[in-house]
Amino acid sequence: MTNPRQLAFIALRDVHKGAYADVALDRVLQKVSLPDCDRRLVTELVYGSVRRQRTLDTLIDQLAKKKSHQQPQDLRTIIHLGFYQLRYQERIPASAAVNTTVQLAKENGFSGLTGFVNGLLRQYLRKAGGDGGAGGDEGAGGAGEERSRGESLSSSSPSSSSSPHTDPLQLPENPVERLGILHSFPDWIIQVWLEQLGLTDTEKLCKWMNQSPTIDLRINLLRTSVEEVEAALQSAGVLVRRIPYLPQALRFIGNTGSIQKLPGFKEGWWTVQDASAQLVGHLLDPQPGEVVIDACAAPGGKTTHIAELMRDKGKIWACDRTPSRLRKLQENSQRLNLQSIQIYTGDSRHLNQFQNTADRVLLDAPCSGLGTMHRHADARWRQTPASVRELSVLQQELITHTSTFVKPGGVLVYATCTLHPVENEEVISAFLAESPDWQIESPSGVELPDSTDSTPQGWFKLWPHRQDMDGFFMVRLRKTNNCE
């Protein structure tokens, strides 16, 4: 079975039963051999339908007699696929989106409801004022970021007469709900962003988070050079560009095919790591010969970066409580030919043997991941205000204990890939209030991207819509010499 839409339906059915979107997608794709364009289409349909779930449900609520939650789950999933193609995939002709969705209904136990599916999708098209500008080659759908029909209509009110097309999606006046429905986020996430950014920037961030993610490389300068990797990739027909402020970084432009088959992967010339995560290593600024502890190390992207920055001289203790994730770290360090990393399995909240042993500690804390939702399609639906509060307790415990690993005069860097103040500013403020022997150190010597949100307090945030990289919070803390 190689029908991309049927494969997407199977993966989405697993997601709605509780599977992670990336796991469900991999499970489906591993069972079939598909051309690259079809793999991209399956990927786009699965991740896109999960990301846009709230918007797609709202369309069902507004256009069907029964609300989305009253529909049979599999039928709801099929309708999501149809609406997703009509609203967000300009390269897929409207007729193809409708016909293939009707066929999906017929083949998956809903033969008696094909008329309903057909009518619902055509009602959307009528309200949109025709085919919504659909056109192009159906097989090209999903090659890259979402190409939205709906979003281009929605910056003005749905009844705006300035456009030949009308958005069938009716939006409330309340800005939290309006942004939440239009861009498909829970209201509480929109609220957190609005409080920090205001309306205009929040809308820009919403749009950024709904793009397909880019892939960045970190070049292992102990094995090769940026120029050599650029040339090798170019000869393989893969386009890359450099990223300002990051001496080891390249970003893919366009499609790459299988990452593991690209030149230099097996040789350990590079590893995949987002630009924001690379900045964390530079903020830590580890030096050759030092003892460094990575307190929550797996799967090891930052650990291996620390080893490269130290020229693989010194000792890095890579601690994590999850053996399976540490195996990934071990594989990566072997592929990159790094010798300075020592793996330790254990919860860093309960390790006492490292007290006052480290020149530097990295606490890349477990977090809600709200800065990387473009990479994790279902994260916005899995996290809640309660789960964020639980994580902040864990983060407080971790920083309180791992700070004891640092020698007097040493450095601790706290980093997360979330943009929630409860996990970031509030954790650091509480720690400093209880720890008079610690102070924030400004990130001197580290080049930061333009418009980085650096505060008077000395911590800083990377906002994806401004820096075009994952959302991160980072702060460098110094332990004073006069502590007991």
Q: Which of 286, 305, 281, 283 is nearest to 222 (CA)?
A: 305
Pairing of strands 315-320, 291-294: parallel
Cα 48 to Cα 66, 89, 135, 210, 356, distances in angstroms? 23, 10, 19, 8, 48
Catalytic residue check, 37 = no
Q: Which one is catalytic: 296, 319, 417, 483?
A: 417
**What is d(CA 472, CA 415) in angstroms, rounded to the nearest whole number?**
7
Buried b (16+ CB within 10 A) or exposed e, 106-140: eebebeebeebbbebbeebbebbeebbebeeebbe
CA-based end-to-end distance of the chain = 67
Residues in the chain: 484
Neighbouring residues of 78: CB distance < 8 A, sequence distance ≥ 6:
9, 101, 104, 105, 108, 110, 117
**What is d(CA 258, CA 394) in angstroms, rounded to the nearest whole number?**
36
Q: Which of 402, 374, 368 is nearest to 388 (CA)?
A: 368
Catalytic residues: 417
